[in-house]
């Protein structure tokens, strides 16, 4: 009798997890690599350039195998001169090619910001719509680990401030593949802000994601977890922070609706508005600095929309601390938002303990 009940219990358990077991695991690195490979195969105008992207297979191995497959003309190692190779890439885009310009880290994109903003982002407008600049600027963004202040900042607010650019910030493997493919196919400049801390992280993906024609729309957020008590809005690695906090809060009976922005410009305000009108509470989560941040922009949009009248408490921002990133590991952790910070923020807006 006991044996039979044990077998039934095991069967129930196996059935309850069969869907998860069936999903394939794909790392963010492999998702980005697949997106590049598929788009280069699909369109011979697509090429990659940047530091160590070819013979070394990329500083983070995102372009692994592509130089051997496509050769020197389509996977190009550049000198260490961001201003120079970003300018070459912008000119190639104006001439009708579709360059993918890799910055080893977006911190180094500051060397090329004139090319990104003044040459790429503004040309379509300044040419009265006659010159498209179909270029992708991609690479790791935000905090890494133990690399100091000048290698650890988030440029989400910087680039999403600029008209003429589209800015996406993928979190998981589905985001990475679908958004990078969309960026490469887009007729305008797209900044793809990745996070190196999740490059080696595997996420379950469906057969649809693995399909060569899988593309995500730029400008559309994703509800990662439905809820009814409070809305958590995050992007990139902060989505993980929000999800961990939501799991903890669920144990206390608080159901959080977690929104993965995916796209910072254009931003999917409608998804945020609908969620807040349901939950009546909002907490934003980001690793960037608080002043003029993405969370600040979301707060302003709520204030300027009728959704403001649906709020039962002020919007709360959870951000990185307003200091350059410390080098010491303990201080680095203290400078970044943690799940406990999100839990505290939710308790404050809900008036719970």
pLDDT band of residue 17 (cuts 50, 70, 90) is very low
Q: Poorest-confidence range of 141-145, 170-174, 221-225, 248-252?
A: 141-145
Residue pLDDT, tens place only, 55-68? 999 999 999 999 99
C-beta neighbour count of 268 within 10 angstroms: 20
What's the confidence (pLDDT) of residue 159? Answer: 98
Task: Say if residues 337 and 238 touch (Cβ distance below 8 Å).
Answer: yes
First to last CA, the chain: 46
Residue pLDDT, tens place only, 89-137? 999 999 999 999 999 999 999 999 999 999 999 999 999 999 999 999 9
Mean pLDDT value of segment 292-303 = 98
Which residues sit opposite 309 in a β-bridge?
none
Residue pLDDT, tens place only, 337-352? 999 999 999 999 999 8
- Say how many CA atoms lie within 13 Å of 60 toward its Cβ: 25
Establish whether 310 is a catalytic residue. no
C-beta neighbour count of 3 within 10 angstroms: 7
pTM of the entire predicted model: 0.91
DSSP strand pairing (166-168 vs 263-265): antiparallel
Mean pLDDT of the chain: 93
Mean pLDDT value of segment 221-245 = 98
Task: Say if residues 249 and 256 touch (Cβ distance below 8 Å).
Answer: yes
Mean pLDDT value of segment 281-289 = 98
Q: Count H helices and E strands in the chain, helices first.
A: 14, 14
What's the confidence (pLDDT) of residue 353? Answer: 73
- What DSSP string describes 153-194? ---HHHHHTSTT-EEE---SHHHHHHHHHHHHH-SS-EEEEE
CA distances 189 to 32, 94, 193, 216, 220, Å, are: 18, 11, 13, 16, 17
- What DSSP string describes 9-72? HHHHHHHHHHHHHHSEEEEHHHHHHHHHHHHHHH-TTEEEEETTSSTT--TTSTTTTHHHHH-T
| CATH domain 25-210 topology | Rossmann fold (3.40.50)
pLDDT band of residue 138 (cuts 50, 70, 90) is very high
Mean pLDDT value of segment 280-295 = 98
pLDDT for 208 beyond 60: yes
Q: Tell whether omega for the bond before 286 is within 30 degrees of 0, i.e. cis.
A: no
pLDDT for 6 beyond 90: no
Each domain of the chain, given as residue ranges in start order, spans 25-210, 222-350
| Residue 47 backbone phi and psi in degrees, to 5 | -145, 160
Where is pLDDT greater, at 276 or 17?
276
The correct CATH number of 222-350 out of 3.30.420.40, 3.10.20.30, 3.20.20.220, 3.40.50.920 is: 3.40.50.920
Residue pLDDT, tens place only, 105-116? 999 999 999 999
- Looking at residue 116, the DSSP 8-state letter turns out to be I
Mean pLDDT value of segment 41-51 = 97
Percent of the chain with pLDDT over 70: 94
Mean pLDDT value of segment 250-277 = 98
Percent of the chain with pLDDT over 90: 91
Structure tokens at 227: 């809820």
Choosing from 52, 151, 255, 280, the catalytic residue is 151
Establish whether 305 is a catalytic residue. no
Q: Which of 351, 342, 286 is nearest to 314 (CA)?
A: 351
CATH topology identical between 25-210 and 222-350:
yes
Choosing from 38, 39, 82, 332, the catalytic residue is 82
């Amino acid at each position: 009798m006991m044996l039979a009940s044990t077998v039934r219990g095991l069967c129930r358990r196996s059935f309850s997890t069969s869907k998860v077991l069936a999903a394939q695991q794909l790392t963010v690195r492999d998702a980005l690599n697949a997106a590049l490979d598929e788009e280069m195969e699909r369109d011979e105008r697509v090429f990659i350039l940047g530091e160590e992207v070819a013979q070394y297979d990329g500083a983070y191995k995102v372009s692994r195998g592509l130089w051997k497959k496509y050769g020197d003309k389509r996977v190009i190692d550049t000198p260490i001169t961001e201003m120079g190779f970003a300018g070459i890439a912008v000119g190639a885009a104006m001439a009708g090619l579709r360059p993918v310009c890799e910055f080893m880290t977006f911190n180094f994109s500051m060397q090329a910001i004139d090319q990104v903003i003044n040459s790429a982002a503004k040309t379509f407008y300044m040419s009265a719509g006659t010159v498209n600049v179909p270029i992708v600027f991609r690479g790791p963004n935000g905090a890494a680990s133990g690399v100091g202040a000048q290698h650890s900042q988030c440029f989400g607010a910087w680039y999403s401030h600029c008209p003429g650019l589209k800015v996406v910030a993928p979190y998981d493997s589905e985001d990475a593949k679908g958004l990078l493919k969309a960026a490469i196919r887009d007729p305008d400049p797209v900044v793809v802000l990745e996070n190196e801390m999740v490059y080696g992280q595997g996420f379950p993906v469906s057969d649809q994601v693995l399909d060569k024609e899988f593309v995500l729309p730029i400008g559309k957020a994703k509800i990662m977890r439905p809820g009814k008590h409070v809305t958590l809005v995050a992007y990139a690695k902060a989505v993980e922070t929000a999800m961990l906090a939501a799991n903890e809060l669920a144990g206390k009976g608080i159901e959080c609706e977690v929104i993965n922005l995916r796209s910072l410009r254009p931003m999917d305000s409608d998804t945020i508005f609908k969620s807040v009108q349901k939950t009546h509470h909002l907490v934003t989560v980001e690793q960037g600095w608080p002043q003029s941040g993405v969370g600040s922009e979301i707060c302003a949009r709520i204030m300027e929309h009728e959704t403001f009248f649906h709020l039962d408490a002020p919007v709360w921002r959870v951000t990185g601390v307003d200091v350059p990133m410390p080098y010491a590991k303990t201080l680095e952790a203290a400078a970044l938002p943690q799940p406990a910070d999100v839990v505290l923020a939710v308790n404050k807006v809900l008036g719970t303990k």
